[in-house]
Amino acid sequence: MSRATLERVGGKSYRISMARRNFRHSGLAAILILVAAVSSSAAVQLSREQGGKLALKIDGINKNAAIEPVRSKTTPMSELEVNSYLAFNINDKIPRGLANPEIRMVGDGQLAGRVFVDIDEFKRHRSSGGVLDPLSYISGQVPLTARGVLHTRGGKGQFQLATAEIHGVPVPKPIVQELVSFFSRTPENPHGFNLDAPFNLPAKIREVIVNPGEALLVQ
């Protein structure tokens, strides 16, 4: 597999394959990593084999996208495959300050997620919001959980955040946006991912259908 390009993520340089580059750095990939779900059953079953299955599917999606015209194709991705991929295949590509993302596909477009966030890393690059800032009272690595709905149509996507919590305490959306923006910054997108902004789906994907335990990517 070609490994022809270097990219900086979270202050570190990583060598990544050209075959998967477009998929990983899309808005959809940002959602999978940053709004990634609490699923203890998936954590028990995670394996390199399942992550490898998803890696092959991603390669197939990118190869199909390179065909003109694109062949109509639907690729299923299971919750287990996605969580295994996050744990084994791109664990070293996750931005510094984030760890152990997990995702749960609830169904009807709903995603739930958990990722451990290093609040101290975030606060080192941010001015304090004062006594009213909820993050002023938090330090260390904490679990951020979130739930929302992924809307997709005609090659466009948008994520609608419903709730977010740290240790069971609700986190206001502006704070969630700050965290997402900070940890999703890249040289190409220095402002990071905007939760409210529509984004282009990668690899000529027209629609993502989220069912219980599985997502269908339609090209």
Q: Are 177 and 35 in contact (CB under 8 A)?
A: no
pLDDT at residue 107 in the model: 97
- Tally of CB atoms within 10 A around 215: 22
- Domain positions in the chain are 5-218
pLDDT at 156 over 80: yes
Average pLDDT, the chain: 83
pLDDT at residue 23 in the model: 58
Tell which wins on pLDDT, 7 or 114: 114
Helical axes 173-183 vs 27-34, angle rounded to 10°: 110
Tell which wins on pLDDT, 31 or 154: 154
Kindly state the tokens that stand for 194.
């905007």
Kindly state the tokens that stand for 144.
């951020």
Pairing of strands 156-166, 169-170: antiparallel
Task: From 158, 144, 142, select the one nearest 38 (Cα to Cα).
Answer: 144
Assign 11 a pLDDT band (cuts: 50, 70, 90): very low
Tell which wins on pLDDT, 91 or 61: 61
Tell which wins on pLDDT, 27 or 83: 83
Tell which wins on pLDDT, 203 or 35: 203
Tell me which DSSP letter residue 89 carries. I
pLDDT tens digits, 18-30: 445 455 545 555 5
Kindly state the tokens that stand for 11.
């202050």
Q: What is the arithmetic mean of pLDDT over 53-69?
A: 97
Q: Return the bridge partners of 118, or none.
A: 141
Kindly provide the b/e burial profile for residues 33-45, where b requires at least 16 CB atoms within 10 angstroms of the residue's own CB: bbbbbbbeebeee
- Cα–Cα distance for residue pair 66/68, rounded to 1 Å: 7
From residue 104, how far is each of 39, 199, 219 by CA, in Å? 6, 21, 22
From residue 210, how far is each of 6, 58, 217 by CA, in Å? 32, 17, 9
pLDDT at residue 130 in the model: 61
Q: Are 85 and 115 in contact (CB under 8 A)?
A: no
What's the Rg (C-alpha) of the chain?
Answer: 17
